[in-house]
Amino acid sequence: MTPSKKVITPRPLVVGNWKMHKTASDTRDLTQDIVKRVERVANIDMVICPPFTSLPAAHETLGRHSVIALGAQNMHAAKEGAFTGEISGPMLREFGVRYVILGHSERRQFDNETSEKVAAKAISAVGYHLRPIVCVGETLTQREADETTAVVESQIRSSLSGFPSEQIDELVVAYEPVWAIGTGKVATPRQAGEVHTKIRKLLIKIFGPKGSGIRILYGGSVKPENAAALMAEPDIDGALVGGASLDARAFFDIIEAARPTRASEHD
């Protein structure tokens, strides 16, 4: 498939989704280890998303001017209220959080996270100056039934319904085929690249030419060994990394693989 015509080349972004791993004290150690390795890395944005309870520890360890930004793994759309067990945007901001993963397939699968909820959360997130990372992706059954394009398109349309177009610089989309998450089965660069190009075209259709600047991350068994080939695809702008982001060395190697070869492009 011909790549989309990008008007803007987005700056690459690598995000570590720690999922339900690492206590606060483990978080200090891993964060320190990552910071040491990436301190001098330039031309790329880097984010770690520890569990809620580890955000204060990560925030403290990163310090005020860190090259690594902090992200959360979910949030509630409301500012406050009777929502037991939930966390709001302003609560995240207090700990220096700048990004928030929304609609991860594990939440769609196990926590009844619908695209409608994701849309409300994404709108709320930008209202609190949090960059939403909106996740989409098909299951194996859907891929085998040749439904990938329809599923991904419908998830994007409904998860971004009502998203303010003047805020699209803040938006990140992540394509994570469910069958590739935590399974070691990575989509081939071609399989991933094809879907990314379709997503790019759709974003341009929805938001106009500025849609070409929205970062589209690939996620699903990204490892140092496969990162470079995936990142070479023209519409893959970075990675959303699960398991390998819990290993500072592997996370660093993936970041290196995602850095642009022509450094001046993203200064």
Catalytic site positions: 104, 176
Among 45, 176, 194, 253, binds ligand 13P (CB under 6 A): 176
- Residue 66 touches ligand 13P, criterion: CB under 6 A: no
Break the chain down into helix, strand, coil percent, rounded to 5.
Answer: 50, 15, 35
- Residue 47 touches ligand 13P, criterion: CB under 6 A: no
- Residue 132 touches ligand 13P, criterion: CB under 6 A: no
Residue among 238 and 243 whose Cβ is closer to ligand 13P: 243
Among 63, 164, 182, 209, binds ligand 13P (CB under 6 A): 182
Please tell me the distance from the alpha carbon of residue 201 to that of residue 190, in angstroms, as a whole number: 16
Cβ count within 10 A of residue 195: 26
- Residue 242 touches ligand 13P, criterion: CB under 6 A: yes
Minimum distance from residue 183 beta carbon to ligand 13P (Å): 7
Please tell me the distance from the alpha carbon of residue 95 to that of residue 3, in angstroms, as a whole number: 39
Q: Identify the residue whose tokens are 């978080």.
A: 27
Minimum distance from residue 17 beta carbon to ligand 13P (Å): 4
Please tell me the distance from the alpha carbon of residue 157 to that of residue 85, in angstroms, as a whole number: 28
Cβ neighbors of 186 (< 8 A, separation 6 or more) are 180, 220, 221, 222, 223, 226, 230
Minimum distance from residue 105 beta carbon to ligand 13P (Å): 7
Q: What do you get for the CA distance between the two ends of the chain, in Å?
A: 29
Minimum distance from residue 139 beta carbon to ligand 13P (Å): 13
Residue among 4 and 251 whose Cβ is closer to ligand 13P: 251
Which residues bind to ligand 13P, rule: CB under 6 A?
17, 104, 176, 181-182, 219-222, 240-244
